[in-house]
Amino acid sequence: MRIALVGNPNVGKTTLFNALTGAHQEVANWPGTTVEFVIGKVRGEDVELVDLPGTYTLTAYARDEQVTRQFLLHEPYDAVIVVVNAASLERNLFLVLEVMELTPKVVVALNMMDVAHELGISIDVGALAGRLQIPVVPTVASKWQGLAELVAQTMRVAREEVVPLHHWPVPYPEQLRRWLEPLAAELAGAGAGLRHRPEWMALRLLQGDDEVIRAVRVLPQGHTAVGLALSCCAQHAGFQVEVGGPAVALDARVLESIRTQQAELEVAIADAKYQHIAALLEGCVRRLLRRTKTFTERMDQVCLHRFWGYPLMAAVFFVAFWVSFVASAPLSDDVGNLMGWLGQAAAVGLGHLGAPHWLQDLVVDGVFAGVGAVLSFVPYMAIFFAIYQILQDSGYMARASVLVDRLMQLIGLHGKGFFALVSAYGCNVPAMAATRVMENHRDRLMANLVIPFIPCNARLGVMAVMTAAFFPGTRGAFVMMALTLISLGVVAGAATVYRKTVLPTDPAPLLIELPNYHVPSLRNIAFPTWHRVWMFISRIWVFLLWATILTWALTYFPAGQPVSHSLAARIGHLLEPVGQWYGFDWRLMIAIVFGFVAKETTLSTLGVLYGAGTNGSLTHLLTQSMTPLVAFTYLVVYMLYVPCLSTVIQMRRESGSAKWTAVGIAVNVAVAFGLGLLLERLAWLFGIGA
């Protein structure tokens, strides 16, 4: 048995899903998209539950909403659970009515009943179920209340061959019904060729749904039905046309009016639904007069304050990232040490087996060193994702998006992308994943193109080491601040250029529901965090493994030769003419190229190439081989250069396009080297490099 789980955003749908399925979950992508949905097994039952992306309506615009609609239209399922917020029935029941028009096998999960009681809302569940003529089950998913009854009612509905349901779930006004009923009757004549209820198809035809029109045209009498719908719209516009006649398809003036009428009919149909919702709730819902403000209302007086909201938001994110860095640091060291120990142990084992020396080097310096460098960041990602989930589930992330939306709009970005940009200072990979909260594909693409200009934790570490070496004391703080401001300026400039050239649309307006504040459950934090971390590891390890082996091979061969005569050195000498413009020798150029695999390997690469350890410390060797100006130029180029391989893979995944990924890489390279050269020349012009 297969059950679809749908609902508006922020109604506790994911909490309900986690409570019903536990750990029996797997994440899937809708074919051809980066949109994810989760499939789980209901505990104790042979029932597959599909958690679809949140949507307000089946008239889909955003990619996430389109996935939900496409699943309900084209995938097999036995019943649908529509999760609604008991405190916002007026808004949430709209989706219930739309799903009821599509399929009669619907069960309503009246979730967050505790929040409704806190707000003084009393609901007569039995009366509401009687008026809807479908099961309505009150639940509090966060406390596991009502879940057994919900599963039982859903399985009962799924097993019934015929579910008693009114022919039209919504009593549309007479003017609409005199078109809908003959149109539905015409569609019903198609018989087995009709995949969905004729009433729903009739509604969508009147609203000019292109997908439904294409589906109807291929039916035996489909052209007649489409012509009838067009005729109804033309008559509504005041044209004298023959019902279903061919004149409608020939008159361009009529067709233009028809498109206008289809939009008006869509509004009229939505208005009829809301009027029906008001009638359904009359007498079923009572609101008690409250003398005190709720916790959410009191919190929003501060969190959304036009002045205090911003320093509070800065403090929240500062604490969040401070915890991420501090808590993950020892764990990352432990993972790195473990991988090093495993590499040495593997080398010893290979030595006992008589394996050649080059294979031992490959295992220690190649596989375990390269993969271990990436795995050492898994603790950071796990803690980061957990904090992100806490901020998201608690309701605060929606408030932060509202606060920064105006500032983000000025540079052509979306308010919901703020957290992604800030989190990029930790790691660009989860930052790109965080852009999925934005509904508009172009807004997500824009954010993914500019995120690589923000230095991640690995780049910041290299920058901090080199800054401390060349600019000790207070000068180092100013240099790091200057680098940060350069990064932010490039982000704003790149976003503006993208918006005015290849992505010439305004950011979508921020339409977001502000959920009530609540304490997320441990289950709601643990499962999404585990899924995100596991998906990152499972999808990139093959690429990292081969890239690491390639890097090792370039520095090892020809075997027995010093690094200065390796294949890597030969590549470096080929790149040296480019580096001379900036004062970079071949070793710095190789470090930039090799940093593409994993930025955290940059310092180790420089250490090998400069002979650190045998010839002195890396800091001493670097300060002896370049001037502070060359070092600063190198930091600018390194900061803005192509991100690591993991980030490129994630960019390809989030953008869904190899072309846009190539564009992003090319722009990164051009801006990094172009701005580096400009700053270097300006420094010489003003005598700073003398």
Residue 379 belongs to some domain of the structure: no
Could you tell me if 154 and 180 lie in one domain?
no
Could you tell me if 128 and 28 lie in one domain?
yes
Q: How confident is the model at residue 325 (pLDDT cuts 50, 70, 90)?
A: low
pLDDT digits (tens, 9 = 90+) for 333-344: 787 778 778 878
Could you tell me if 105 and 198 lie in one domain?
no
Average pLDDT over residues 519-541: 73
Cα separation, 362 vs 556, whole angstroms:
9
> End-to-end CA distance of the chain, in Å?
76
Tell me the residue range of the domain where 112 lies. Answer: 2-159
Greatest mean pLDDT among 329-343, 351-365, 574-588 lies in 574-588
Write down the pLDDT at residue 248.
Answer: 47
Contact yes or no for 139/146 (Cβ under 8 A): yes
Those residues with Cβ within 8 angstroms of residue 353's Cβ, 6 or more apart along the chain or in another chain: none
Cα separation, 429 vs 647, whole angstroms:
5
Q: How confident is the model at residue 53 (pLDDT cuts 50, 70, 90)?
A: confident
Which of 125, 159, 193 lies at the terminal end of a domain, its last residue? 159
DSSP string for 366-429: IIIHHHHHHHTTHHHHHHHHHHHHHHHHHTHHHHHHHHHHHHHHHTT--GGGHHHHHHTTT-HH
295 versus 95: the higher-pLDDT residue is 95
Residue 271 belongs to some domain of the structure: yes
Could you tell me if 455 and 599 lie in one domain?
yes
Structure tokens at 232: 């109804």
DSSP 45: S
Could you tell me if 128 and 197 lie in one domain?
no
Helix (H, G, I), strand (E, B) or coil at 388: helix
Contact yes or no for 136/128 (Cβ under 8 A): yes
Whether pLDDT at 97 is above 60:
yes
Greatest mean pLDDT among 209-213, 362-366, 491-495 lies in 491-495
Whether pLDDT at 299 is above 70:
yes
CATH number, position 88: 3.40.50.300
CA dihedral 608, 610, 615, 620 (to 10 degrees): -120
Return the closest-CA partner of residue 17 out of 54, 51, 68, 47. Answer: 51
pLDDT digits (tens, 9 = 90+) for 213-250: 888 887 777 777 888 887 777 776 766 655 454 444 44
Contact yes or no for 97/276 (Cβ under 8 A): yes
Could you tell me if 245 and 129 lie in one domain?
no
* Type of residue at 606: L
Output the CA torsion sign for 487, 492, 496, 498.
positive
Residue 497 belongs to some domain of the structure: yes
Could you tell me if 34 and 58 lie in one domain?
yes
Cα separation, 182 vs 27, whole angstroms:
43
Write down the pLDDT at residue 142.
Answer: 83
Task: For 457-510, give the secondary structure using H, E and C.
Answer: HHHHHHHHHHHHHHCCCHHHHHHHHHHHHHHHHHHHHHHHHHHHCCCCCCCCCC
CATH number, position 233: 1.10.287
Whether pLDDT at 149 is above 90:
yes
Contact yes or no for 434/419 (Cβ under 8 A): yes
Structure tokens at 490: 């490039």
Greatest mean pLDDT among 266-280, 403-417, 592-606 lies in 266-280
The stretches of 110-249 forming alpha helices (DSSP H) are 113-118, 125-132, 147-159, 174-188, 198-206, 210-217, 222-236
Which of 98, 130, 159 lies at the terminal end of a domain, its last residue? 159
Q: Is the peptide bond before 9 cis (omega within 30 degrees of 0)?
A: no
Global pTM value: 0.66
Return the closest-CA partner of residue 418 out of 513, 324, 313. Answer: 313
Residue 649 belongs to some domain of the structure: yes
Write down the pLDDT at residue 614.
Answer: 46
Which H helix or E strand runs over 287? strand 285-287
Return the closest-CA partner of residue 669 out of 642, 633, 629. Answer: 642
* Type of residue at 347: A
117 versus 258: the higher-pLDDT residue is 117
Residue 530 belongs to some domain of the structure: yes
Could you tell me if 547 and 573 lie in one domain?
yes
Q: How confident is the model at residue 665 (pLDDT cuts 50, 70, 90)?
A: very high
Residue 72 belongs to some domain of the structure: yes
Could you tell me if 27 and 155 lie in one domain?
yes
Average pLDDT over residues 346-370: 79
Q: Please count the helices (runs of H) and the strands (runs of E) in the chain.
A: 30, 9
Residue 551 belongs to some domain of the structure: yes
Could you tell me if 155 and 266 lie in one domain?
no
Average pLDDT over residues 520-529: 79
Could you tell me if 152 and 208 lie in one domain?
no
Q: How confident is the model at residue 298 (pLDDT cuts 50, 70, 90)?
A: confident
Write down the pLDDT at residue 635.
Answer: 92
550 versus 2: the higher-pLDDT residue is 2
Could you tell me if 189 and 254 lie in one domain?
yes
Q: How confident is the model at residue 613 (pLDDT cuts 50, 70, 90)?
A: very low
Q: How confident is the model at residue 535 (pLDDT cuts 50, 70, 90)?
A: low
Q: How confident is the model at residue 476 (pLDDT cuts 50, 70, 90)?
A: confident
Residue 291 belongs to some domain of the structure: no
CA dihedral 440, 443, 446, 448 (to 10 degrees): -70
Structure tokens at 109: 């999960």
Whether pLDDT at 406 is above 80:
no
Return the closest-CA partner of residue 203 out of 257, 273, 134, 133. Answer: 273
Phi-psi label, residue 284: left if phi above 0, alpha if psi -120 to 50, beta otherwise: alpha
Write down the pLDDT at residue 527.
Answer: 76
Mean pLDDT in the chain? 81
pLDDT digits (tens, 9 = 90+) for 410-443: 777 766 677 677 778 767 887 887 787 676 778 8
Write down the pLDDT at residue 313.
Answer: 84
Write down the pLDDT at residue 79.
Answer: 95
407 versus 638: the higher-pLDDT residue is 638
Share of the chain above pLDDT 70, in %: 82
Whether pLDDT at 497 is above 60:
yes
Which of 285, 312, 344 lies at the terminal end of a domain, its last residue? 285
Q: Could you give the number of structural domains in the chain?
A: 3
pLDDT digits (tens, 9 = 90+) for 182-223: 888 888 776 556 677 888 888 888 888 888 888 888 777 777
Contact yes or no for 389/525 (Cβ under 8 A): yes
CB-neighbour burial class of residue 530 (10 A; exposed 0-12, middle 13-18, buried 19+): middle
Write down the pLDDT at residue 28.
Answer: 55
Cα separation, 372 vs 549, whole angstroms:
13
Write down the pLDDT at residue 247.
Answer: 42
Write down the pLDDT at residue 7.
Answer: 93
Rounded (5°) CA angle 214-216-217: 65
